[in-house]
Amino acid sequence: MTAPLICLLLGVLLDLLIGDPRSLPHPVRGIGWLIAHLEAPLRRLFPLTPAGERWAGRLLVLLVTTLPTALTALALAVTYWACAPLSYALGVLLTSQCLALTSLRQESMKVHAALTTGDLPAARAAVSMIVGRDTEQLDEEGVAKAAVETVAENFSDGVIAPLLFLALAGPAGGIFYKAVNTLDSMVGYQNPRYQHFGRCAALIDDLLNLLPARLSGLLLCLAAPLTRLNGKDACRIFRRDRKNHKSPNSAHTEAAAAGALGVQLAGPSYYFGQLVEKPTIGDPLRPIEPEDIRRVNGLVARGYALAVGVVVLLTSIVFLLN
């Protein structure tokens, strides 16, 4: 087994054990800080026109992807030169911080805990930490649906996509992906402020996630029977509804999860006080309930196990062929 693969597997294990403790510095927080502090100067650097905003956004993407990736590669190289075990330890830590399975489960299960105790205000507050929609007026089913959707959707860009970039390019590849994903989450909006400035970030994020989103949907279809959920309907709804979203990537995992659970996801939601009409995903065979949050976490956990197994197998085959 190669050193990069061992580093990857230890990083996966570390994420499963400790998640993302707030006491530790996290690269995504650093990337977010960089984005926030570069936006205003870059906007001033270019004309206040659609073309000027697009150029400012392109430069933002260049800086925010290049600097953290280069610093990661440099830190790993310097520590390897000084002390190889320290470099491996740093690589394991960075790998774990690029993966979000445990934090996703922890945050969504806070919603589950509040709902099961009947504390709807606490459930709304908990789900507001992990979704972008307005949550103040959501009922119990709406809160549960929002949590299920975010677990399913983030299985792709929070777990499988970084896993693939880590497997292909190590911790520096993982940080590169997280930089693009963080850019999209902060500036990749279709609103007057970011329509032009955030266009480059949104397009690159869509491009990087084309393959991971589809693989993630397939993984959930394969994982459904292993979770005692409906594998047949997961595949059926995945094929039927995986394009029911304005984004080319967001609906794939939601469609597989909706079919596996036998519920309907998506549909109209309020964002910043405005009703946004969105197609539904899945069939309303039954109402969504709090326990579906636990079920979807079990589904993505088994999908993740399948993905890690495939990465180990493929990496081992490549190593043996070389």
pLDDT tier at 1 (50, 70, 90 boundaries)? low
For the four alpha carbons of 190, 193, 196 and 199, in that order, the dihedral sign comes to: negative
C-alpha span between 188 and 195 (Å, rounded)? 8
Q: What value does the mean pLDDT of the chain take? A: 94
pLDDT in tens, 215-232: 999 999 999 999 999 999
| Mean local confidence (pLDDT), 109-128 | 95
C-alpha span between 317 and 283 (Å, rounded)? 41
Model confidence at 301: pLDDT above 90: yes
pLDDT in tens, 3-53: 889 999 999 999 999 988 887 889 999 999 999 999 999 999 999 999 999
Model confidence at 169: pLDDT above 70: yes
Q: Residue 134: its pLDDT value, please? A: 84
Q: Residue 137: its pLDDT value, please? A: 87
- Which of the pair, 278 or 148, is modelled with greater confidence? 148
C-alpha span between 143 and 137 (Å, rounded)? 9
Of 156, 147, 121, the C-alpha closest to 295 is: 147
Distances (CA, A) of 77 to 74, 84, 117: 5, 9, 50
Q: Residue 315: its pLDDT value, please? A: 87
Helix (H) or strand (E) holding 280, with range, is strand 280-281
pLDDT in tens, 127-156: 999 988 888 889 999 999 999 999 999 999
Decide if 121 contacts 109 (C-beta within 8 A): no
Q: State pTM to two decimals.
A: 0.94
Token pair 């001033």 is found at 44
- Which of the pair, 3 or 99, is modelled with greater confidence? 99
Model confidence at 245: pLDDT above 90: no
